[in-house]
Structure 1
Amino acid sequence: MATFPPAREAGQRKRDALRRLETDEDAWVSSASADGAPCLVPLSFVWHGERLLMATKSANPTARNLRDNGVCRIALGPTRDVVLLDCTAEVIGSDGLPDAAGQAFAEKLGWDPRGHPAWVFLSFRPQRVLAWREENELAGRELMREGVWAV
């Protein structure tokens, strides 16, 4: 039988999830088209003002899906230290991001799509956040529900 590290208390899980949001650069974004076709892509992100910000070309399926549907799931981390976020999403034109958010994006990721009309920003507001490492943390994995931190 496998042995796992001790389960983290909820406050530590939240701190670990926030650290991952602040320091990780890439995430998996899952969305679906109007007819239900799934789409899963890796995108770079910045955590700014309690939102994840990403950029993609406006013609890409993810941008189209989020324009039509506005909900998605985002996954961070490896399978043995996962953070899942169920989010509402907003698609913002390349010239529509507030200056502070655009600057944070450019500084962290080293590129700046602002002002390039083929690109859009994706702004994700978490509604539910789950975090766990192993089976012994499944019971307390919900850190946020309905957009409010439960921890």
Structure 2
Amino acid sequence: MPVQADTQNTPPTTEDARRPAAERRRQTLDRLATERDIWLATSHPEHGPHQAPFWFSWDGRAVWVCTGAASATVRNVREERRVHLSLPDTADVVMLQGEADCYADQDVPEEAADRFTAKFGWDPRREEGSFVYIRITPAVIRAWRDEPELRGRVIMRDGTWL
């Protein structure tokens, strides 16, 4: 019996299947609202680049992650606020560039911490040890599927949706 291709989750590969900008934006926002994991890349002037996966929540304007206060990620963000984020799917790429701000677990806005807790069932504010919430406000977002969508992949520039 011949195997049929899974066309429901396969990204389009022809120019005719290129998504309009509004659809790319909507699908990107849907993914930011529902996906669980994101890669966060930071850099430090003495220690160089560092990349790590995190659980994240999206508040409609910014990405929130949480990590131990002594982590390399927190150390780097305190030295260099510019960061890079990417969702893990390489066939349906979403990459964000922005600036990060750190909030100690006792100083994080309650709404942000509650959203994080509701999504993951874990509340770092109730853990022993110190945690830091990091808010990343995107300035640039790129989204594309395969080569036909490389043109027009920037869907946010200077914090404004295109």
Q: How far has the Cα of 1:80 moved from its partner?
A: 0.7
Partner of 1:135: 147
1:93 aligns with 2:104: yes
Q: Trace 1:1-150 onto structure 2 (pairs within 5 A).
A: 4-5=13-14, 6-35=17-46, 37-114=48-125, 116=127, 117-150=129-162
Give the secondary-structure state (helix, strand or coil) at the position aligned to 1:126: strand
Quote the offset at 1:77 in angstroms: 3.6
**Root-mean-square deviation (Å):** 1.4
Cα pair 2:39 2:88 within 8 Å, conserved? no
**TM-score with structure 2 length normalisation?**
0.87
Q: Percent identity at matched positions?
A: 34
Deviations 1:8-53 (A, max 9, x none): 0100000110011000011000111122611010000000141111
Q: Which amino acid aligns with 2:142?
A: L
Q: How many matched pairs? A: 148
Unaligned stretches of 5+ residues in structure 2: 1-11
Quote the offset at 1:87 in angstroms. Answer: 1.1
Change (3 A) 1:49 1:96: farther
- Contact 2:85/2:97 (CA < 8 Å) preserved in 1? yes
Bigger radius of gyration among the two: 2
For 1:135 and 1:78, locate their aligned partners in 2 and report how far apart those are by CA, in whole Å.
15
Indicate conservation of the 8 Å contact 1:94/1:115, yes or no: no
Q: Spell out structure 1 runs of 4+ moving beyond 6 A.
A: none
What's the CA shift string for 1:37-88, capped at 9, x where partnerless?
1101000000014111100011111111001101110001411101000010
Counterpart CA distance in 1 for 2:82 and 2:47 is: 12
TM-score of the superposition, structure 1-length normalised? 0.93
Opposite residue 137 of structure 2, the aligned amino acid is: R
Contact 1:106 1:112 in 2 (8 A): yes
Counterpart residue number, 2:3: none
Query: Equivalent residue of 1:50, what SS?
Result: coil
Instruction: Point out where structure 1 has 5 or more consecutive residues left out of the alignment.
Output: none
Deviates more, 1:3-12 or 1:58-67: 3-12
